[in-house]
């Protein structure tokens, strides 16, 4: 009922990468799911980014992302001493939901523009000795530190 130690969670997340390669022949990353959902919602899009996306070959992403969401819900409802709230107490109503939606869209757009998300670059890319992924990961950390120590102070 207590949070797991960071190192145990990190090891399990790290094992996801080789297991996904071995069991499914797929690379770990979440940001392609944004493209998958866009292609599913607009199957006849004139946008090349969505039209050229192979929805059938990437359908597994829908199940993968759904499993992450379901696992998070189960963990917060049944495996923690007190339920985790989705929104902080000072964020309520439609403005908070709109902020989250806009923030999620911007993060997803930025991840696709960068050629992958933090999980894709930091876990899969570095594991494949991909130097641009190492550079992207360093930039993710610099950006996170800048926001944490600069904008939020």
Give the contacts of 8 (CB within 8 A, at least 6 positions apart).
Answer: none
- Model pLDDT, residue 138: 92
Residue 107 per-residue DSSP state: H
Contacts for 43 with CB less than 8 Å, ≥ 6 apart: 55
pLDDT in tens, 27-47: 887 888 888 888 888 888 898
Residue 97 predicted with pLDDT over 80: no
DSSP E strands, 29-89 = none
């Amino acid at each position: 009922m207590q949070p797991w130690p960071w190192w145990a969670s990190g090891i399990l997340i790290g094992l996801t990468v080789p297991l996904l390669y071995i069991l499914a022949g797929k690379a770990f990353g979440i940001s392609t799911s944004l493209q998958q959902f866009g292609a599913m919602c607009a199957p006849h899009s004139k946008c090349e980014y969505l039209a050229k996306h192979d929805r059938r070959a990437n359908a597994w992403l829908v199940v993968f992302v759904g499993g992450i969401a379901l696992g998070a819900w189960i963990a917060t409802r049944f495996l923690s001493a007190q339920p985790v709230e989705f929104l902080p107490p000072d964020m309520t109503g439609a403005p908070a939901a709109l902020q989250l939606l806009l923030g999620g869209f911007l993060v997803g757009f930025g991840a696709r523009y960068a050629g992958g998300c933090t999980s894709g670059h930091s876990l899969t890319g570095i594991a494949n000795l991909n130097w641009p992924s190492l550079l992207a990961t360093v930039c993710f950390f610099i950006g996170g530190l800048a926001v944490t120590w600069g904008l939020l102070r």
